[in-house]
Structure 1
Amino acid sequence: MKVSSTLAISSYSILLSFIAISPPAHAISASETNNSFATRKILPFGVSSVDGQLETENVDFYTFSGLDTGNLFTVEVNSQSFDPLLGQLSDFGKIQEINDDQSDNNVLPILTGEIPTSGNLNLAVSGLRDINLLCDHFESGQYTLSLKTFTFPRSSTNATLVNGSFETGNFTGWSTLGSTSIETAIFGSDPTDGTSQAFLSTGGGTFNDSITEKFLGLKAGSLNNLGKGQVSKGSNIQQIFTGKAGDILSFDYNFLNDEILTPIIFPDFSFVSINSSSDSSTSSLLELADVTDATSKSSLTEFAEETGFKTFSFKLPTTGTYTLGIGVINVGDIAFDSGLLIDNVKVTSVPEPSFGLLEFSALALLGLWKKIYPK
């Protein structure tokens, strides 16, 4: 069972490429005196993980201190003996976010977000379904609480779009935010170009809309303004490249989902954003597909339905630098995951107009006519 409740601006999870990770630090063991927010264990600067023992009808509270404000974080609980639940709290002990399962296929909890201005990250470890952190559970056992912090991903500009078919086997040339991976045909859907394709998921390490919009250079509220409902978390890739007016940007995509409720209440969707740094009026945020489009019941992937591969194309209006963002995001709940496969991202130049044989012959005849029959 997956449970999540967001009571303030926060993030769910993150996996990033091409970003600096804080130096590893040592782990410590927790005492059993941290069973309330008031008696929480304050972990000193440099500590990145803690080993604990959860007792039945207890909650363990921690504070990671001295963190760099503005950095992003991933925190997760690992246990081989019970089903844990993880919560984030404010400096006043108010619950901000709760996570029970990080995806349809993983019952271990994970949270992500931006380090608060205080530099403190307050967390609580409890058992299955104790979403109010009231010790309402019967779980017990050993666990490890682990924290990683990251600088916010920044992209460099490529002279042209690179690694569009992901044949390098990684995200070279791209920046990533959230749960992303490179897949082959083994995933259950054949790539459209070469042997590799990118995969984005709303399960696992993902981010909320405010951080997603900051990453993609979108205005606050842009994703909600697409009209699908209150968006929650998702994953994205981004590349900055230069292009010429008239060039055609295109890529193939396959939207996947596990939404099984009928009628559809929470229409998860995939999207593309295209922004020009040289022309602020050239800014597009478009939906690619949502759960109502994924009607194929014959998906061989881990998802129940898919759209099959379709092609998106966009004509660049001006010459300049463009930021391409592609993402998938949950709407409303996070009870069911959605995904997006991407392949064959490319920019095709439109050839300059040239005179063909017929045009040349017509001009030659016109010239001959003028010589024979001068005015």
Structure 2
Amino acid sequence: MKPQLILCNVLIASLMVFSVSGHAMANNLQVQSYRGDVGNLNNVWTLTTASKFNQDDYPLDAGALNVSGNEPEQTNIGTGLENYLGLADGSLDIDSFSAQAYEGSAMKLSFNLKAGDTLSFDYSFATRDVGASNIGKDYSFIVINGKLSTLSDVGKTTASHASSNDLASTGLTSFSFKADHTGNFDIYFGVVDIGDFNASSTLRLYGSQLVAAVPEPDTAILSLMGLGLVCLVRRQKRDV
């Protein structure tokens, strides 16, 4: 078989596979900005509610769980964490009484996506905020183009997944969403203390994966027709 014909067959087969299944790519997390206690530890982005100076995790020493040397950012103060996230004051509260958000940390990622692309993240949520009741306890969250959603809270953690200084953890967990339009997506990840400044919680982000949208049938057919025409022209030239 001629090299040109082999190439055409390979291109057509590849396009057919792509049109059926899409494709996946690994992505490094490109952090645009952050507020509060945010650091990269061994290629894992880590966000905490832990103070550098206050002993909020007794009997651990002050600053034991702080990863950056920066203090967590307060909420509900006009220029605080909610303002950074593009949310109204009080948006991170669970309720307006015993379950108010006191402080936390967050970071911003930006992605240029096509409609139908699926973006997923691997993360874990760990905490020392455990007790008889999970009402008003700390949680981690994601904000996508201004829409706030909870990732995990204390009620979803167990002691069996805890490690070192954590009392409970979700273990490795995944979150994914599908882009509903083509354009830039601003994505914020964060974690907050609820009801107090004590008993720190930690959100760890391990990476992301993008699964590209499957091409529209018409696009795939036109592409195949174009490849077929190229192959036909090359074959006619060879036979002349």
Shorter-chain TM-score: which interval?
Answer: 0.5 to 0.7
1:197 to 40, 44, 47: 44
2:115 pairs with 1:245: yes
Structure 1 or 2: larger helix share? 2
Residue equivalent to 2:164: 301
For 1:173-322, list aligned pairs within 5 A.
Answer: 173-184=31-42, 196-204=43-51, 205-210=71-76, 211-224=80-93, 229-275=99-145, 283-322=146-185
Give the conservation status (yes or no) of the 8 Å contact 1:247–1:348.
yes
CA deviation after TM superposition for structure 1 residue 301, in Å: 3.3
**What do residues 28-51 of structure 1 show as CA deviations (whole Å, max 9, x unaligned)?**
xxxxxxxxxxxxxxxxxxxxxxxx
Give the CA RMSD over aligned residues: 2.6
Give the conservation status (yes or no) of the 8 Å contact 2:50–2:72.
yes
Give the conservation status (yes or no) of the 8 Å contact 1:165–1:343.
no
Give me the whole-angstrom Cα distance separating, in 1, the residues matched to 2:45 and 2:93: 25
Give me the whole-angstrom Cα distance separating, in 2, the residues matched to 1:175 and 1:164: 17
Give me the whole-angstrom Cα distance separating, in 1, the residues matched to 2:27 and 2:141: 17
Gaps of 5+ in 2: 1-25, 52-70, 225-240
Give the conservation status (yes or no) of the 8 Å contact 1:328–1:339.
yes
Percent identity over the alignment is 29
Give the structure-1-normalised TM-score: 0.42
**What do residues 273-329 of structure 1 show as CA deviations (whole Å, max 9, x unaligned)?**
000xxxxxxx42110010011113342232111001111011111112211000000
Give me the whole-angstrom Cα distance separating, in 1, the residues matched to 2:89 and 2:120: 26
CA deviation after TM superposition for structure 1 residue 240, in Å: 2.6
Extract structure 1 runs of 4+ deviating beyond 6 A.
none
Gaps of 5+ in 1: 1-162, 167-171, 185-195, 276-282, 361-375
Give the conservation status (yes or no) of the 8 Å contact 1:165–1:197.
no
Cα 1:301–1:209 change in 2 (3 A) is: same
**What do residues 126-184 of structure 1 show as CA deviations (whole Å, max 9, x unaligned)?**
xxxxxxxxxxxxxxxxxxxxxxxxxxxxxxxxxxxxx9545xxxxx5421111111123
Cα 1:245–1:213 change in 2 (3 A) is: same
CA deviation after TM superposition for structure 1 residue 216, in Å: 1.4
Q: Kindly provide the amino acid, as one letter, of the partner of residue 180 in structure 1.
A: V
CA deviation after TM superposition for structure 1 residue 225, in Å: 5.4
Residue equivalent to 2:212: 349
| Higher RCO structure (Cα 8 Å, ≥6 apart) | 2
Q: Could you say what secondary structure the match of 1:261 adopts? A: coil
Q: Could you say what secondary structure the match of 1:303 adopts? A: coil
Give the conservation status (yes or no) of the 8 Å contact 2:114–2:182.
yes
Residue equivalent to 2:196: 333
Give the conservation status (yes or no) of the 8 Å contact 1:243–1:320.
yes
Q: Could you say what secondary structure the match of 1:260 adopts? A: coil
Q: Higher Cα Rg: structure 1 or 2?
A: 1
